[in-house]
């Protein structure tokens, strides 16, 4: 009977032995950084027997988003990935191996110092014994000679006392020197014991990933763990290098796209394949919802405030096994090293995001220190032009209009501006979609001469029965192109805008503007023209403002 029970228990014992926990370690292989947050890819190698197993990885940082953890596999045999669980654990710091060797060195140093102290203490004991013996010798002259001994010659007591004093002084000095050295050794031991206490093993919070797998046979597998972290970001910045060209050579604009990356995720991205994505996974998933707004009479007594609903707890630290079980077919790896899921390209342009793979491998520390990398550069054919606001400055500024290349957008960021290899200042690029146009300013254009003058100012009253006050002003703007080629030019100015129906403002002058209310700003005027080499243009315009004589008006900045 006992033999039968034992035989029945053997399969259960064997199955229990197969369903063992296998601890694995992983390393960061690739990181995709978003404008806010990042996705980290870890790879760990495991060797398991056939059957059910639980793989444990405690490498993930404490701030990893548990719900973002995904596991894939690539194995030498058939491997099925079941559910995936996560939990917070405390593990020894990753640098404990280094600390352990340092602790051993400190312990050896303390042990040697304690041996030195024992030797010194023994020398103190020996010197004190020698001193006692010498003290006993000083008593010899006072002791009577034994009765049974014959009279003998007396020693030279002066010489003997000199020798005793010399040896006593040497013994006392040896004691003092040894005590001083003992104090110094004890001080060193105390310092090293304090250092040893600081090197005690420490714990750090981590996320442990528990992967339930089934292996069809003994195999080796590469387990890929993907997860997202929040404490990381990248910001684009640019170099815009303009070559203005000549009369026979067209201008060129080289736009160099760069990125600054920083992270405080609790883990160093050491020698990783780095990619930058324009996607924003942390920016929300749906647009806000508007609630109806009503207007009604104010009640006589205000209603009591509505109680706030209690916040609902958010589940943390677990990835539901049911959902991952449903994806088992996608996470099943066949024999001959077939990958469980489709591999993504290193550089990918999609309808809703662009991914830039940085050349080579990169190291980004977790201290928040900025890491700068270059993404790409593109040659553009800009259209040059000049713009002037002579009311503010009698200067023209050179502008280059560019069209964003098809394929990827330009994210907002600072741009360093170079004109013919000379740095002229900084600007800023807004968010620009592929195919969109944008102008960049490249500083003062000294080859455009600008003059501004007030031609006339008149104030007075009109009317016989109902009088009105008037304010009429006229301006003259002179521009000249000193370039060797034709140059498009935009001149901007303004006239006052009435804020009252009784105040009338009329545009006057011989030079009608080509645009009014530029950029939807009331009263802003623009004259556009292309000036030939050495061509000069004169713009004459003004305004007349009238209002009731009984009123006073003021001029000020509008909103």
Average pLDDT for 377-401: 95
Spatial strand order in the sheet of 371-380 = 371-380, 252-263, 232-243, 413-419, 422-429
Domain containing residue 550: 447-559
Does residue 69 have a pLDDT over 80? yes
* Tokens, residue 96: 């404990």
Average pLDDT for 431-454: 94
Task: Report residue 107's pLDDT band, with 50, 70 and 90 as the boundaries.
Answer: confident
- Tell me, yes or no, whether 169 lies in a domain: yes
pLDDT score at 151 = 54
Q: Of 321, 346, 327, give the one whose Cα is nearest residue 73.
A: 327
- Tell me, yes or no, whether 403 lies in a domain: no
Model confidence pLDDT, tens digit, residues 52-65: 999 999 889 988 99
3-state secondary structure of 142: helix
275 DSSP assignment: E
pLDDT score at 153 = 57
Average pLDDT for 217-223: 91
Average pLDDT for 315-319: 40
- Tell me, yes or no, whether 250 lies in a domain: no
pLDDT score at 342 = 29
CATH code, domain with 524: 2.60.40
CB-CB contact of 25 with 32 (8 Å): no
Model confidence pLDDT, tens digit, residues 153-191: 556 666 666 777 777 788 788 888 888 888 898 899 888
pLDDT score at 173 = 84
- Higher pLDDT residue, 124 or 100? 124
Task: Report residue 495's pLDDT band, with 50, 70 and 90 as the boundaries.
Answer: very high
d(CA 376, CA 241): 14
- Tell me, yes or no, whether 109 lies in a domain: yes
Dihedrals φ, ψ of 225, to 5°? -115, 125
Name the percent of the chain lying above pLDDT 90.
Answer: 44
pLDDT score at 447 = 95
Task: Report residue 19's pLDDT band, with 50, 70 and 90 as the boundaries.
Answer: low
Does residue 256 have a pLDDT over 60? yes
- Tell me, yes or no, whether 481 lies in a domain: yes
H or E element at residue 197: helix 157-198
Does residue 302 have a pLDDT over 90? no
Least confident of 151-160, 366-375, 385-394: 151-160
CATH code, domain with 182: 1.10.287
311 DSSP assignment: P
pLDDT score at 355 = 85
- Higher pLDDT residue, 142 or 226? 226
Domain count for the chain, please give it.
2
- Tell me, yes or no, whether 470 lies in a domain: yes
Does residue 305 have a pLDDT over 80? no
Is 427 exposed, middle or buried (CB count within 10 Å of its CB: 0-12, 13-18, 19+)?
middle
Does residue 349 have a pLDDT over 60? no
3-state secondary structure of 104: helix
Average pLDDT for 399-424: 91
Q: What is the total residue count of the chain?
A: 559
Does residue 533 have a pLDDT over 90? yes
d(CA 135, CA 144): 18
Does residue 8 have a pLDDT over 50? no
Q: Of 279, 281, 277, give the one whose Cα is nearest residue 375.
A: 277
Does residue 416 have a pLDDT over 80? yes
Average pLDDT for 447-451: 96
Largest CA distance in the chain: 164
Task: Report residue 532's pLDDT band, with 50, 70 and 90 as the boundaries.
Answer: very high
d(CA 140, CA 146): 12
- Tell me, yes or no, whether 436 lies in a domain: no
Does residue 306 have a pLDDT over 90? no
Average pLDDT for 357-367: 90
Does residue 17 have a pLDDT over 80? no
CB-CB contact of 385 with 490 (8 Å): yes
Least confident of 162-176, 217-231, 292-306: 292-306
Does residue 126 have a pLDDT over 80? yes
pLDDT score at 132 = 80
- Tell me, yes or no, whether 46 lies in a domain: no
3-state secondary structure of 82: strand
């Amino acid at each position: 009977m006992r033999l039968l029970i034992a035989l029945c228990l053997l399969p259960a014992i064997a199955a229990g032995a197969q369903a063992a926990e296998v601890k694995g370690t992983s390393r960061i292989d690739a990181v995709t950084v978003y404008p806010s947050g990042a996705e980290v890819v870890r790879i760990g190698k495991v060797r398991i027997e056939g059957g059910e197993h639980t793989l444990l990885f405690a490498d993930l940082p404490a701030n990893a988003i548990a719900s973002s953890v995904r596991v894939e596999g690539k194995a030498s045999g058939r491997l099925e990935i079941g559910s995936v669980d996560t939990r917070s654990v405390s593990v020894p710091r990753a640098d404990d191996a280094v600390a352990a060797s340092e602790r051993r060195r400190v312990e050896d140093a303390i042990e040697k110092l304690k041996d030195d102290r024992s030797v010194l203490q023994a020398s103190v004991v020996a010197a004190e014994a020698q001193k006692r013996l010498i003290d006993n010798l000083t008593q010899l002259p006072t002791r009577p000679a034994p009765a049974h001994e014959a009279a003998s010659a007396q020693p030279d007591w002066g010489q003997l006392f000199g020798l005793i004093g010399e040896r006593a002084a040497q013994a006392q000095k040896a004691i003092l020197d040894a005590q001083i050295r003992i104090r110094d050794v004890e001080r060193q031991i105390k310092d090293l014991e304090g250092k040893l206490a600081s090197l005690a093993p420490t714990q750090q919070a981590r996320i442990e990933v528990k992967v339930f797998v089934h292996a069809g046979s003994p195999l080796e597998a590469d387990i890929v763990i993907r997860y997202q972290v929040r404490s990381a970001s990248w910001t684009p910045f640019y170099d815009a290098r303009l070559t203005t060209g000549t009369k026979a050579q067209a201008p060129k604009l080289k736009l160099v796209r760069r990125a600054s990356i920083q992270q405080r995720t609790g883990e160093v991205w050491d020698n990783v394949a780095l990619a930058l994505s324009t996607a924003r996974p942390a920016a929300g998933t749906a647009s806000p919802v508007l609630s109806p707004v009503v207007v009604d009479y104010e009640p006589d007594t205000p209603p009591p405030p509505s109680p706030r609903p209690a916040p609902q707890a958010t589940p943390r630290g677990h990835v539901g096994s049911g959902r991952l079980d449903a994806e088992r077919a996608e996470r099943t790896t066949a024999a001959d090293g077939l990958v469980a899921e489709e591999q993504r390209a290193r550089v990918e342009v999609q309808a809703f995001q662009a991914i830039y793979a940085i050349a080579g491998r990169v190291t980004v520390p977790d201290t928040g220190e900025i890491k700068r990398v270059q993404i790409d550069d593109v040659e553009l054919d800009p259209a040059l032009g000049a713009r002037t606001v002579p009311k503010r400055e009698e200067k023209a500024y050179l502008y280059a209009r560019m069209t964003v290349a098809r394929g990827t957008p330009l994210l907002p960021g600072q741009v360093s501006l170079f004109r013919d290899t000379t740095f002229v200042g900084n600007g800023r690029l807004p968010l620009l979609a592929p195919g969109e146009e944008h102008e960049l300013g490249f500083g003062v254009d000294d080859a455009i001469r600008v003059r501004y003058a007030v031609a006339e100012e008149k104030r007075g009253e009109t009317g016989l029965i109902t009088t009105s006050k008037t304010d009429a002003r006229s301006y003259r703007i002179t521009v000249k192109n000193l370039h060797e080629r034709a140059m498009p030019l935009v001149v901007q100015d303004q006239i006052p805008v009435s804020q009252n129906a009784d105040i009338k403002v009329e545009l006057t002058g011989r030079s009608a503007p080509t645009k009014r209310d530029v950029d939807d700003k009331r009263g802003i005027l623009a004259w556009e023209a292309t000036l030939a080499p050495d061509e000069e243009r004169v713009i004459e315009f003004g305004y007349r403002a009238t209002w009731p004589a009984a009123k006073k008006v003021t001029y000020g900045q509008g909103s």
